[in-house]
Amino acid sequence: MDYAVRQQGLSADRRPLTKRIADASAPYLYSAPALILIVTVMLVPLVLGVSYAFRDVQLLNPFSGAFIGLDHFRALSQDEAFFRSLRNTLWWTGASVLLQFAFGLILALLLDKPFRGRAIAQALVFLPWAVPSFLAGLNWAWLFNPVVGPLPHWLYALGIMSQPANILSDPELAMWGPIVANIWWGIPFFAITLLAALQAIPRDLYEAASIDGAGAFQRFLSITLPFLAPTIAITILLRTVWISNFADLIIVMTNGGPADRTQIVASYIFTQAFKRLDFGYASAIALVLLALLLAYSLLIVILRQWLLSKD
C-alpha cells in the first residue's frame, strides 16, 4: 500500500524538473536577502569580536593586532572598575525591571476597564515609548538639573533634600536618575504587552466567578494572574536581558560618572571602544558579558523545565 501511495504521489507530480527546482528553492529565495544581511552585519562581526578578545587591537596603533592569549582576561580579573560595573548592572537592571513591571501591570489593569476617553488616555500614557531614548535621557537630565529643572526644587520643598542639588552629580544617588528615566520610558512596553494578554482572557470566566461570590481581589488572584503568568514570565526574562544591555540613558545622562558610580557593563564596553579606542579590551569585556547572559538564560530554561516537571 505504501508503494501504491508513492506511485500515486509520483504520477501526480508531473511538473517539469525546472519548475520543481524553482518551487523547492522559493522559500530560500524569499528569505535570502534578510539572511545575508544578518550574517554579514551581525554574525561576522560577532565572530571577529570574539577573536579581538584574544588579540591586542587598538584603533590608533597600527602595530597592534598580535595574538596575546588570555592577557585581556587577566587584566579584567584585576579591574576594579569592571567589578563595580557588574554590581551596578545588577542594581540598574533589577530596579528598572521590577518598577517598570509593577507600574506597567497597574496601568494595564486600569486600561482594561472600558471607560469614556479610553482611546485617548491610552495614546497619551503610551507616548513616552515613542520618545527616542537619547531624548528621554536628555529630558530627564534637564529635569534633574536645578538650573532649568523643577525636580530638585520640589524635592527640597518636600524636605527630602537639604538643598536643591543635582542628584546626577551625587555619587550615592546618581543611579536613581537613569533608573527613573528608564521607568518613565519603559512602563508603556510592559503595559502594552500585559494589556494585550489581559484582553485575551475570556470575559465569562469573571462573570461565572462573581456569580459564585468571588470578590474582586479573589478574581484577580485566581483568574487574572494565572492567565497572565506566561506573558509575565517571558516579558520579564526578555526585558531583563535587554535592559542589562541598554546603555543609552546612562551614556547620555551621566556618562558612567560620578566616579564610575553609574557605569554598567554595557556602558563600560562602549567607553573602552569609543573613548579609549581599545577594541581588544572592549571585546574581552563583551565576551564575559555574553557568557553571563547565556548563563542567565540557561538558568531560566532549566528552572522552567524543573517547574514544569514538578507539576
Partner 1 sequence: MRAKSAFLTVAHRLAILAYIAFALFPLFWLLKVAVTPNDLLYSEGIRLWPSRASLEHFDFVLRHSAFPVFFRNSLIVSGSTAVVVTILASLSGYALSRFRFRGKYWLVTLMLLTQMFPLVMLVAPIFKILSPLGLTNSLTGLVIVYSAFNVPFATFLMQSFFDGIPKDLEEAAMIDGATQFVAFRQIILPLTLPGIAATLGFVFTAAWSELLFSLMLISGNEQATFPVGLLSFVSKFSVDFGQMMAAGVLALIPACLFFLLIQRYLVQGLTAGAVKG
Binding partner 1 (rule: CB under 8 A), the pick from 136, 155, 167, 174 is 136
Least distance (Å) between residue 311 CB and partner 1: 22
Indicate the helix (H) or strand (E) that contains 276.
none
**Residue 201: Cβ-neighbour burial (10 angstroms; 0-12, 13-18, 19+):** middle
Is 95 near partner 1 (CB under 8 A)?
no
- Residue 73 touches partner 1, criterion: CB under 8 A: no
Q: Helices marked H in the chain — which ranges?
A: 2-12, 17-38, 44-52, 71-77, 80-112, 118-126, 133-144, 151-157, 176-199, 203-211, 216-219, 225-244, 248-253, 265-274, 279-310
Task: Tell me how far, at minimum, the Cβ of 126 lies from partner 1, in Å.
Answer: 7
Q: Indicate whether 126 belongs to the interface with partner 1 (CB under 8 A).
A: yes
Running DSSP on this structure, what letter comes out for residue 70? T
Q: Indicate whether 91 belongs to the interface with partner 1 (CB under 8 A).
A: no
> How many residues interact with partner 1 (rule CB under 8 A)?
88
Phi-psi region of 67 (alpha: psi -120 to 50; beta: other; left: phi over 0): beta
Q: Which of residues 268-307 bind partner 1 (CB under 8 A)?
A: 269-270, 273-274, 279, 282-283, 286-287, 289-290, 293, 297
Nearer to partner 1 by Cβ, of 143 and 223: the residue is 143
What is the DSSP code string of 184-223? HHHHHHHHHHHHHHHHTS-HHHHHHHHHTT--HHHHIIII
- Half-sphere exposure (Cβ direction) of 219: Cα atoms closer than 13 Å: 17
Q: How far apart are the first and last CA of the chain?
A: 43
Question: Cβ(256)–Cβ(267) under 8 Å?
Answer: yes
The least distance separating partner 1 from the CB of residue 302, rounded to whole angstroms, comes to 17
Question: For residues 7 and 118, which CB has a smaller minimum distance to partner 1 in the complex?
Answer: 118
Hey, which residues between 140 and 199 contact partner 1 (CB under 8 A)?
Answer: 140, 142-143, 147-150, 153-154, 184, 187-189, 192-193, 195-197, 199
Based on CB atoms, which residue is closest to partner 1, 154 or 309? 154
Q: Which is nearer to partner 1, 179 or 187 (CB)?
A: 187
d(CA 102, CA 90) in angstroms, rounded, equals 18
In the window 10-29, what residues touch partner 1 (CB under 8 A)? 26-28
Nearer to partner 1, 97 or 107 (CB): 107
d(CA 221, CA 46): 44
C-alpha cell at 15: 511538473
Residues between 222 and 261 that touch partner 1 (CB under 8 A): 231, 234-235, 238, 241, 245, 247-248, 251-252
Q: How far apart are alpha carbons 53 and 235 in whole angstroms?
A: 31
Output the smallest distance, CB 87 to partner 1, in A: 18
Based on CB atoms, which residue is closest to partner 1, 111 or 168?
A: 111
Over the window 35 to 54, marking each residue x when it contacts partner 1 by CB under 8 A and - when it does not, the resulting string is x-xx-xxxxxxx-xx--x--
Binding-site member from 3, 63, 67, 115 for partner 1 (CB under 8 A): 115
Min dist. Cβ of residue 263 to partner 1 (A): 13
